[in-house]
Amino acid sequence: MDYPRAEQQRSERRLIYVYSVGAVFSAIGLVCTAVAFGYWHFTLDECDGDPIVDKRHCGCLLFTQSSTRLLIGGDTRVCHFVEFSTIPGIVIGFSMAAWHWYRVFFVLNKPPKRYRRRPVNAQEVNQKGEVIVVQRTSWTSVASWLSAFLLVLLVGALSLTAAVTITVGSVQTCEQYRENLIETLSADGYMAALIKDRLSCQAVFDFMDYLLPIKERNSANFINTGVALQLGIVAIWFSAVAFTAAASLCFIQATRRTRHRCCSRR
């Protein structure tokens, strides 16, 4: 007897949903980060003449540094990492969801084939002296689930690293632009304290949208940087959670198959 097909269908249906959620959130994260990072790239590329910062790696919206009436961008490789780390989630998520959808609706729905050839069984004797015939689970199935577990776990770890990076980098940019905003507005006293202690990061990014001049852009066109970053952060975090959950489900499937035995007594 094979692994129960009804339970198999339920497990793979769950994986369809989880993979689809991970892929969709990865796509949302890619769009939001690409819009925000691309919009600010040329404006934050203020490394020319700075002997400390390499101009080739400047222009990232994350991990910026406040200078005299300037906001110097962080290392562009960081932004590229956050953007490109969502692509494996999109590709693998949709591919795995499509594969499990095919199995659920076209493979597992069909009645199992019957063969005349008898399966290879192993005999074991219990404490009562009874002979138990054990039909062992195919190790090919176990290996495929373990391979899927390792692949999806890698995607989840990549998404988690990107989520932590964009979260920490956005917070640093927010704090750095607070200092820049205080200098730009010549704020002191309670006004400086208000900007430093009470102004939310969303409000700080709103000031950044309207007060920081945009290079090679029409000044009448603005994006909502705070919303784009928040959506990107939330989407990438949800993507990391979804792929971690998918990896857990794959591992559970593999361990169930290693424990599964179809036994009959003689």
- pLDDT value, residue 127: 53
State the pLDDT at residue 48.
63
**39 is in which domain, residue-wise?**
5-112+123-265
Distance of alpha carbon 215 from alpha carbon 39, whole angstroms? 9
Residue 219 belongs to a domain: yes
Asked whether residue 187 is assigned to any structural domain, the reply reads: yes
Beta-sheet strands, E only, within the chain: 60-67, 70-74, 122-125, 131-136, 261-265
60-216-174 Cα angle (round to 5) = 35
**How many angstroms separate the CA atoms of 140 and 145, rounded?**
9
Mean pLDDT, range 141-161, rounded to an integer = 92
Q: For residue 117, is it within any domain?
A: no
User: pLDDT tens digits for 41-54?
Assistant: 888 887 765 555 55
Do the domain assignments include residue 85? Answer: yes
Is pLDDT at 124 greater than 50 in this prediction? no
Give how many domains the chain has, as a whole number: 1
186 SS3 class: coil
User: Quick one: pLDDT at residue 239?
Assistant: 97
pLDDT tens profile 192-218: 899 888 899 999 999 999 888 776 556
| 118 in any annotated domain | no
| Residue from 45, 48, 49, 84 nearest 64 by CA | 45
Nearest Cα to 85, choosing from 162, 171, 14, 195? 162
pLDDT computed for residue 185 by the predictor: 87
pTM: 0.82
